Amino acid sequence: MASVTQHQIQKFHKDGFLALEQFFSAEECDSMRRQIESIVAGMEVPPHCRTAFSTREEEQLQAQGSSDYFLTSGDKIRFFFEKGVLDEKGNFLIPKEKSLSKIGHALHAYDPVFKQITHSPKVQELGRKLGLERPVVVQSMYIFKQPGIGGEVTPHQDATFLHTEPLGRILGFWIALEDATQENGCLWFIPGSHTNGITRRMVRAASGASTCVEFVGSEPAYDEKQFTPLPISKGGLILIHGEVVHKSELNSSESSRHAFTFHVMEAKGTTWSKENWLQPTPELPFPSLYT
């Protein structure tokens, strides 16, 4: 991997994203894929996916189960499925490894392979080149983008979900474990859109509310013509500014688009919002990126 240049860092600050091809080796990508295969092989379907609904009350309990499962996933390794892959009893309608949407949100803390990648010397060196003084890792996800059913991710800014005071302290690291193409759902960005703040926040709902999180504010209508696709080869890393607008399309191709992604916060002089869905816990305070 070539070292990142000052010119590339300037480009990141200008665009709000940066693609670094071949940042990770094919071997590193394959080790992550193998590790996920073994995690999936041992996966139990979460109980809230197994209740066959009949009454409205049971449906509410199930929704509550799935929201608790999500809200308490920050310090665990948990499974999230694509729509329509389980029958009403929670049995798979397709092979289970093809059913997952993502696994999150603490692979970086509890899995040795993903921990090693997250804290790898080249990631730490990149953090230092970017001027990060006290970066901490707040979450990680393995994203499958399954062939034919990998859903679209509508335009969004990561800071909508991971809010800080001041803004500008969240940085995403997105690693392509397979080639990401326009056909299989690569990322698209609006260059320069990271300079306008955010218009929407996802916050924890008041206790007793029917949903676990709610949105405050609204997402503007983005002009599709402003988006630029960013295909990247296996092993490539995309840096994503917390406020840059990005999306991905449905994967209508025959090939998956696996990715591992994690988010870092510059903790120096930064307050993490108490209203974020994701909160550090006594079991897992946000670990330092630098080891």
35 lies in some domain: yes
Other beta carbons within 10 Å of 212: 18
Residue 194: give its domain's CATH number: 2.60.120.620
Question: Per DSSP, what are the bridge partners of residue 204?
Answer: 213
Beta strands in the chain, from DSSP E residues, in sequence order: 17-20, 77-81, 100-105, 135-143, 153-156, 164-165, 170-176, 187-189, 200-204, 213-217, 228-230, 237-241, 246-248, 259-266, 271-272
Show the domain range for 60.
6-272
Tokens standing for residue 136: 């901490």
Residue 282 included in any domain: no
* Residues 148/39/236/117 CA torsion (nearest 10 deg): 160
Q: What is the pLDDT of residue 177?
A: 98
70 located within any domain: yes
**Backbone torsions φ then ψ of 242, nearest 5 degrees:** -60, -20
What's the alpha-carbon Rg for the chain, to the nearest Å?
A: 19
Return d(Cα 287, Cα 176) in angstroms, integer. Answer: 23
Which own/partner pairs from 49-53 qualify as long-range (CB within 8 Å, at least 24 positions apart)? 49/81, 49/86, 49/90, 50/89, 50/90, 51/90, 52/88, 52/89, 52/90, 53/88
Residue 2 pLDDT: 61
Q: Is residue 280 part of a domain?
A: no
In a domain, 281, yes or no: no
Q: Is residue 186 part of a domain?
A: yes
Two tokens, residue 189: 């960005």
Reference 43, options 3, 95, 8; nearest CA is 95
Q: Are 240 and 158 in contact (CB under 8 A)?
A: yes
Specify the pLDDT at position 219. Answer: 87
| pLDDT for position 106 | 97
Per-residue model confidence (pLDDT) at position 256: 95
Q: Is residue 236 part of a domain?
A: yes
How many domains in the chain?
1
Could you state, in chain order, the average pLDDT of each consecutive group of 10 residues for the chain (291 residues)? 87 98 98 98 89 79 87 95 87 92 97 98 97 98 94 94 97 98 97 95 84 89 96 98 97 96 98 96 96 95
CB 180 within 8 A of CB 259: yes
Beta-carbon contacts of 139 under 8 Å, excluding residues fewer than 6 positions away, are: 74, 104, 105, 106, 108, 162, 262, 263, 278
Report the C-alpha gap between 188 and 181 in whole angstroms.
11
What does the block give as tokens for 188? 């698209």
- Give, in order, the Cα–Cα distances in Å from 87 to each of 74, 91, 99, 185, 197: 27, 5, 12, 26, 41
pLDDT score of 21: 98
In a domain, 28, yes or no: yes
pLDDT of residue 205: 87
Q: Is 288 exposed, middle or buried (0-12, 13-18, 19+ CB in 10 A)?
A: middle
DSSP state of 284: -
pTM of this prediction? 0.95
- Position 204 scores a pLDDT of 92
Q: Which two tokens stand for residue 11?
A: 């480009």
